[in-house]
Amino acid sequence: MEFLQALDARVRNLISEGKQVVLVGDLNVSRSESDSTNVVETLRKEGLSIEEWMNAPSRRLFNHLIYGGTVQGDRDEGREQPVLWDLCREFHPAREGMNTCWDTKRNTRPANNGSRIDYVLCSNGLKDWFTEADIQEGLMGSDHCPVFATIADVVTAGTEPVPLLAVTNPTGMVAGDGQRLREWNTKDVLPLSARLIPEFDRRQNIRDMFTKNTVAKLSSSPSSPALEVAQAQDLSSRTRNERR
């Protein structure tokens, strides 16, 4: 629940700053009875109502977040308006059995007895950019199946149609007609890229993060979030060794 609360706050803050948001992944919550197989029958056996099920804290919060979400009673303070579109449901509003997760231990996938807990969500300004969204229930290899959404090659940014490549690449890299003007270089690295953080910019291998030499080097530099993480990892490793 704490994760969803933090996610809700983060998404709303970004949108309030004028940013557009795409949120994808396993959110571990089904939206409604249409997104969970046999939920009504299961609730009946447990003596619960659909209203009680919909009012589960995580489900209630999630429905505050998305357009068309069902919220029982008054909306929560600070969540008066939805901010994200559930793209798969927008493209398939009446589709039943659009499950993305099944119980592997009970082998419920062949009968499609599962739930939809994986999403592609987007803010209102991006909704019209998408031309398709769906699940790939036939793709095996996990207890989940992939979920995807397709963005048009040409989108509307402001009032003008522009190539998607021009929007998603640094300024001056792609022309308005979609032609590439130059290649990417290190000067295009985003300001928040880990490559620009002193603690990480010279690392050649992820295993360097877990060596004592790396921790010692970080200890001699000013305090930073990366230093705190490295120190915590080193302490955890030493504690496990002592217990052995």
SS3 44: helix
Residue with tokens 């068309």: 68
Strand partners, 135: 147
Residues with Cβ within 8 Å of residue 156, at least 6 apart in sequence: 128, 129, 162
SS3 121: strand
SS3 81: coil
35 is in an annotated binding site: no
CB atoms within 10 A of CB 193: 12
26 is in an annotated binding site: yes
Residue ranges of the annotated binding site for Mg(2+) are 26, 28, 143-144
Residue ranges of the annotated binding site are 26, 28, 143-144
